[in-house]
Chains A and B, each alone.
Chain A
């Protein structure tokens, strides 16, 4: 804004109102500084950094499609299932909006998992970005809650039994567990009050996430983006303005994202769902295999790996909560796994264990599957518990002088 070009009549039409607004509410320059020309980002970010903005877009897609679904959905045990069919059959283009929302939830998780994995690999959780990392975990937790609540709304068999099983987990809370569950249900089982309040919360939480995303980005701006080398920027020439460089890169990434997304929406909308959820909820009959949505499977496997119910629940929640103390478990001064040979292998093994747990979570809890779940649960937690030791013993490769 420093050098204002010579005044022209055409420019005044834009510039004068701009200055007028800027003087009263500097919202345009605020946005420009947040995700525009004013935000300087390392010039060496690779495509894994796209998942941050993609997550934001996935959130917007969920909120938009969700809003329009909410105009037709009815949160009543007698009407919910039918109202979803009303959306699929009667509402003009309703099937498209529902498929977008349904597939969108899965893709949101894919994006967020990639985003977390990137942060893990390149040490983005480390000083001075711990609070940024924390808010990311909080967003992830609320996102899981939102997805769980949303899956209950179609009121099919999986909705009902998923809700029953997951809410029952809270009964392990000492002394007050049973009362908490009844409080949550608003009755003595999952029923009409449960559905209605789940709907209310499912509508609210995405906006809570939006608020947390703003804080997440705020924290990001304190020290700027990490980068694949993990080293701090030393020269101004190592940075480029977010706009146009990363905006166009994100737009390209969006295109790449939307192709498989839309392919699923139009050709395989049910592939990630479960046929049982097209049977209306029946409190008298439990489906033969209750399986949560794929994005919960790794945690579900951890839950089932441990034979003691209370401990299983603790392990399941612990598997996410442990991420909060990750910055203090890993005290290595080097951020990026590129320069940490041991850590690098550990991250690969860790991610492989999450995949293995995901597969095991979809299998019946019998025989070899239980033993394997226990093994990979040990690998999962072993990763975190070994980190302090590895940080001490590992010899990092020499770091580059500047980002590459």
Chain B
């Protein structure tokens, strides 16, 4: 039944057909493009809303963290550890730079902007649990599967495979950082 009723004018058919096919193709392409554009706002509506984005940066006053101790902040729904390290802890971290026990080798200098303050995500790089302070390397250990991190947040024992992540941050002044 797909035959077109054009038997009366067989000669006109081929010209008509090509014009028809061309127009059909143009309209279809144009329509599909439009539909694709129309899909964008729907996809975009699922990305973070403005009020969520507004909380995407966090300013932290570092003076509220006493030397030698560690404080946890919530940033983008995840914990961030900020550790105000004392001289001994900094020295330990630097000493380990050359150690062959680092599973994901990185120097301490690569991981801090100001060596007094270590800022790392409090999210184990294995499966996302929050590590707790302790372990054999002066840093953290993960309660879920036993990964261990040193006082530069570097991985010392698996099953995780990378160091604790460093969130993007910047010093606004000597005692304030802006995360995100």
Does A touch B (CB under 8 Å) in the complex?
A: yes
List residues of chain A with CB under 8 Å of any chain B CB. 37-38, 40, 64, 68, 71-72, 86, 89-94, 96-97, 237, 240-241, 244, 248, 251
Closest chain B residue to A97, Cβ basis: B45
- Complex contact B44–A93 (CB within 8 A): yes
Contacts of A94 in B (CB 8 A): 45, 49
Partner of A244, one of B1, B24, B41, B44: B24
* Nearest 10 pairs of A and B residues by beta carbon: A93-B41, A90-B49, A90-B50, A90-B51, A92-B44, A91-B49, A37-B2, A93-B44, A96-B41, A93-B45
B46 within 8 A of A: yes
Partner of B49, one of A92, A96, A251: A92
Number of A-B contacts defined by CB within 8 Å: 48
Q: A86-B51, A89-B50 are in contact. Are A241 and B1 (CB under 8 A)?
A: yes
Partner of A97, one of B5, B41, B48, B51: B41
Closest chain A residue to B40, Cβ basis: A93
- Complex contact A68–B42 (CB within 8 A): yes
Besides A68-B42, A92-B44, A248-B24, 5 more A-B contacts (Cβ < 8 Å) are: A37-B1, A72-B49, A90-B50, A92-B41, A93-B44
B88 within 8 A of A: no
- Complex contact B5–A240 (CB within 8 A): yes
Q: How large is the interface on B (under 10, 10 to 19, 20 to 34, 35 or more residues)?
A: 10 to 19
List residues of chain B with CB under 8 Å of any chain A CB. 1-2, 5, 24, 27, 31, 41-42, 44-52
Can you sample 19 A-B contacts with CB below 8 Å? A38-B1, A64-B42, A68-B42, A68-B45, A72-B45, A86-B49, A89-B50, A90-B50, A91-B49, A91-B50, A92-B41, A92-B49, A93-B41, A93-B44, A94-B49, A97-B41, A97-B42, A241-B2, A248-B24
Closest chain A residue to B46, Cβ basis: A71
Contacts of B47 in A (CB 8 A): 92
Q: A71-B45, A91-B45, A92-B44 are in contact. Are A251 and B31 (CB under 8 A)?
A: yes
Q: A91-B45, A92-B44, A94-B49 are in contact. Are A40 and B1 (CB under 8 A)?
A: yes
Closest chain B residue to A239, Cβ basis: B1
Interface centre among B5, B31, B46 (most CB of A within 10 A): B46
Closest chain A residue to B48, Cβ basis: A92
Task: Give the complex CA separation of A91 and B47 in angstroms.
Answer: 8
- Complex contact B45–A92 (CB within 8 A): yes
Closest chain A residue to B28, Cβ basis: A251
Contacts of B45 in A (CB 8 A): 68, 71-72, 91-94, 97
Contacts of B48 in A (CB 8 A): 92
Contacts of A86 in B (CB 8 A): 49, 51
Taking the closest CB of chain A, its distance from the CB of B173, in whole angstroms, is 31
Taking the closest CB of chain A, its distance from the CB of B29, in whole angstroms, is 13
Task: Give the complex CA separation of A374 and B42 in angstroms.
Answer: 46
Closest chain B residue to A37, Cβ basis: B2
Taking the closest CB of chain B, its distance from the CB of A302, in whole angstroms, is 39
Task: Give the complex CA separation of A375 and B47 in angstroms.
Answer: 55
